[in-house]
Amino acid sequence: MFNRAKDRRIFVQLLSFFNAFDNVAEPQFRGVHCRPVADLHMPVANAFPSPASPQIRAVTAADVPALHALEQVCFDGDRLSRRRLRHWVAADNRVFLVAERAGQLLGYILVLLRRGTRLARLYSLAVGPAGRGQGIGRALLAAAEEASSHSGRLFMRLEVAEGNEAAIALYQQQGYRTFGSYPNYYEDDGNALRMQKRIRYRPENLHRLSVPWYGQTTEFTCGPAAAMMAMAALSADYTPSVSEELSLWREATTIFMASGHGGCHPIGLALAMRARGFDCAVYLNQHTPLFVDGVRAAAKKAVVQQVDADYRANARAQKIPVIEQEFTQVQLQAWLEEGALALLLISTYRLDGKKVPHWVTLTGIDEECLYVHDPDSDDEYNPLDSQYLPIARDDFARMSLFGKEKLRTAVVVRRARTG
């Protein structure tokens, strides 16, 4: 469920670079994301001691012509255009650094910072012929990691071709470790290794389950997509599909929302998953009908209220627990340790500036972060970055409150019942 056309430039360029420069001491690469370099009012440490050595600094608009020329030299295809380079220079959700000497731009690194998360992802790293073999790529990577860390990011991620031993060795030398793979990632059906480095150290005691990722196919089916990911993780016999996604939505929808089609009610999702043989429990911090304030017309409010009442009545009839109290992060961790998963409703305001309710699947937790599978993959990012997405505990405490009523809700899902 990822955009091959979009991701192609990242990985074809990375692969082609290493194939072309296997015998050169200074490689370069392309990769994805984290938070605003524009917010970093701090000097970047210069990694080169000699006065004649390159200087690493933040990019400026005046660098665009030289960056565009570097693209032509370093990459055979899918190059960043002047327009895209200007876009990233002006953007606030990136770290964008260049290395220059005596006014000549020798290389650059671009890291994207995903809003509302602690994740950075390498998007592009290039060193021109005049700068190769001098450690510039490594210095740019180290400087970008430092800048990303200062922006509050904890992890840097990237993908690399499984057979690209030179690139893998370089990343491993820099502290990156493989944490997963993605089959048939490239145009030639080659596999990609997923690598990650913790760029700001914290003691880690991660509780994480292996959960397959599924991307929602409509703007209103985040709930069904999150539910399918949980069910597929808990039962090898369950297979997500578009047909199933739409069926779950029909069974769990609120019918109306502020605009467009309705989203999914937590009790509706629990009922739909119970119908498929899974044990569920719903936690709500309020007893009044949900999402009523999301619609204006009195007739629509009446429909949303009736849907809420029906879901609650059906849950009572099927003995699905609906616990009208706050849940805690301690409980979330306990549920994961028991082998359960949880669907969580968040507000997307801290992710995209929109106050929209959005379902995600909790997939891991440690002392610093909660990790979620987000079924919505932003076009700016690689869908792989929607998997095990790190959200700081304090940030999650705010993100998990939705609307004026400050609704907080979770649907706890356990393995299918037997017997």
For domain 4-201, which CATH number applies: 3.30.465.10, 3.40.630.30, 3.50.50.60, 3.40.50.720? 3.40.630.30
| pLDDT tens, residue by residue, 279-321 | 999 999 999 999 888 888 999 999 999 999 999 999 999 999 9
Return d(Cα 302, Cα 353) in angstroms, integer.
Answer: 29
Whether residue 131 contacts residue 26, with contact meaning beta carbons closer than 8 Å, is answered with: yes
Return d(Cα 83, Cα 371) in angstroms, integer.
Answer: 34
Q: What SS3 class is residue 283?
A: strand
| pLDDT tens, residue by residue, 49-105 | 444 678 999 999 999 999 999 999 988 766 889 999 999 999 999 999 999 999 999
Against a cut of 0.85, is the pTM above it? Answer: no
Per-residue pLDDT band at 253 (split at 50, 70, 90):
very high
Domain ranges for the chain, please list them.
4-201, 208-416
Return d(Cα 99, Cα 257) in angstroms, integer.
Answer: 50
| pLDDT tens, residue by residue, 134-168 | 889 889 999 999 999 888 888 899 888 898 887 88
The CATH architecture annotation of domain 208-416 reads: Alpha-Beta Complex (3.90)
| pLDDT tens, residue by residue, 218-246 | 999 999 999 999 999 999 999 999 999 99
Q: Which residues have a Cβ under 8 Å from the Cβ of 111 and sit 6 or more positions away?
A: 31, 32, 33, 34, 94, 95, 96, 120, 121, 122, 123, 144, 147, 148, 156
**Of 250, 251, 244, 207, which is closest to residue 229 (Cα–Cα)?**
244
Return d(Cα 187, Cα 10) in angstroms, integer.
Answer: 12
Number of Cβ atoms within 10 Å of the Cβ of 373: 24
DSSP sequence for 185-196? -STT---EEEEE
Higher per-residue confidence, 208 vs 143: 143
